[in-house]
Amino acid sequence: WTSGTVVDAENSLTELAALAETAGSQVLEGLIQRRSQPDAATFIGRGKVDELRAAVESTGADTVICDGELSPSQLRNLEERIKVKVVDRTALILDIFAQHAKSKEGKAQVELAQLQYLVPRLRGWGEALSRQTGGSGRGGGAGGGVGLRGPGETKLETDRRRIRTRIAKLKREINGMRVIRDTKRSARRANTVPSVAIAGYTNAGKSSLLNRLTGAGVLVEDALFATLDTATRRTAARDGRVYTLSDTVGFVRHLPHQLVEAFRSTLEEVADADLVVHVVDGAHPDPEEQVRAVREVLAEVGADRLPELLVVNKADAAPQETLLRLKREWPDAVFVSAHTGQGIEELREVIEDKLPVPAVEVLACVP
């Protein structure tokens, strides 16, 4: 389901398929639903549920992934009707972040986000049964329901309590790590080395560009979200000034709010930069939409006040008419290809021109 046009829905679905493949799934079939509003009970409409169940049966799929965030009850209702596991976009993205987190802090943050997503979705037999029987066990039929409900609820309560304890512990740990991070941050600020943050939609080519600009061996993957933890490299301008370049977390449309929260401290580092190099994939069907999505997240962490340099990457692969359109739209953007090296020298010059010139001590000369 999407509030946009069918083309938006197709692009979004293609991206969802790429996300699912990144998470290790094999994608069998895509279905699009046209509606002005998601169905309150099952997210997609009743006719579509039947169509989906038929598709699941004919393909032998074991999971259905929905492009959106489903409420706990929509997820449950849909699972009951189509009889296979249902995953929403949020859970899928959380899963990918969990697979790719490398640093201790990154791992803790993703686990926290996953648990926060999980708590309202926890359910046990007890809950399912008390719903069927009106909440109090009346009319529980064969008595098995009543018998089952007790232990079920106890187990659910224990699970909830365990998760809450774990959440509290993770929060404490993350706070501790934040203190260390903040200290490092103020040290960086104090030593006045200008910093450039490379931001951009996931798969736009941020890591490739960082490699091109600094010759660093950062992992480049044709998978969404290869980058989770920031990688910082030092490099020197032609005039010898040293500055740092950091590759930031990949952005994605509808980044789950749990993750925006979790990665706030990582993203906030962007807000400390002297310049944001915003990388756009020129070969993507809708680069403008990606730019909007990234700017939204940048604004959330207060990085929208910083000078921004738009860089259209993959100029080697983008259609000519797209490049012409983007040039008209963003006359100040630099067009490059991290693959062929086209435009990289110009990019380096523009970056250097935009960096703050270090303060120079001027001695007053008295004649």
With contacts defined by CB under 6 A, how many residues of the chain interact with ligand GDP?
Answer: 21
Q: Taking a C-beta distance cutoff of 8 angstroms, is the pair 304, 298 a contact?
A: yes
Stretch of 78-86, 162-170, 196-204, 237-245 lying at the interface with ligand GDP (CB under 6 A): 196-204
Measured from the CB atom, the residue of 299 and 317 that comes closer to ligand GDP is 317
Give the nearest distance from C-beta 318 to ligand GDP in angstroms. 8
CB environment 1-19: b (16+ within 10 A), e (fewer):
bbeeeeeebebbbebbbbb
Token representation of residue 251? 């952005």
Nearest Cα to 333, choosing from 204, 193, 195? 204
* Shortest distance (Å) from residue 345 CB to ligand GDP: 15
Q: How far is the CB of 20 from ligand GDP (least distance, A)?
A: 17
- Own/partner long-range contacts of 101-108 (Cβ < 8 Å, ≥24 apart): 101/228, 101/229, 102/228, 102/229, 103/229, 104/177, 105/174, 105/177, 105/181, 105/229, 105/265, 106/228, 106/229, 106/266, 108/170, 108/173, 108/174, 108/177
> Which amino acid type is present at position 266?
T
Backbone angles phi, psi at 231, to 5 degrees: -115, 125
Inter-residue contact 204 to 313 (CB < 8 Å):
yes
Q: Which is nearer to ligand GDP, 129 or 351 (CB)?
A: 351
Which one of the spans 40-48, 136-144, 171-179, 195-203 is the region binding ligand GDP (CB under 6 A)?
195-203
Report the residue number, 233 or 339, with the smaller CB distance to ligand GDP.
339
d(CA 149, CA 65): 30
Per CB under 6 A, contacts with ligand GDP among 200-229 are: 200, 202-208, 220-222, 226-227
229 vs 206: CA distance, rounded Å: 13
Residues 313-342 that bind ligand GDP (CB under 6 A): 313-314, 316-317, 337-339
Indicate the residue among 250 and 256 with the shorter CB distance to ligand GDP.
250
- Least distance from ligand GDP to the Cβ atom of residue 210, Å: 8
Query: Which CB sits closer to ligand GDP, 22 or 265?
Result: 22
Of residues 64 and 338, the one with the C-beta less far from ligand GDP: 338
Q: Which of residues 262-321 bind ligand GDP (CB under 6 A)?
A: 313-314, 316-317
Give the closest residue to 160 by CA, choosing from 129, 110, 126: 126
Q: Please say which residue, 48 or 100, places its beta carbon nearer to ligand GDP.
A: 100
**Please, are residues 181 and 105 in contact by the beta-carbon 8 Å criterion?**
yes
Strand 334-335 relative to strand 275-281: parallel, antiparallel, unpaired?
A: unpaired
Contact letters for ligand GDP, residues 245-264 (x by CB under 6 A): -----x--------------
The stretch among 34-42, 130-138, 185-193, 199-207 that binds ligand GDP (CB under 6 A) is 199-207
Binding site for ligand GDP (CB under 6 A): 200, 202-208, 220-222, 226-227, 250, 313-314, 316-317, 337-339
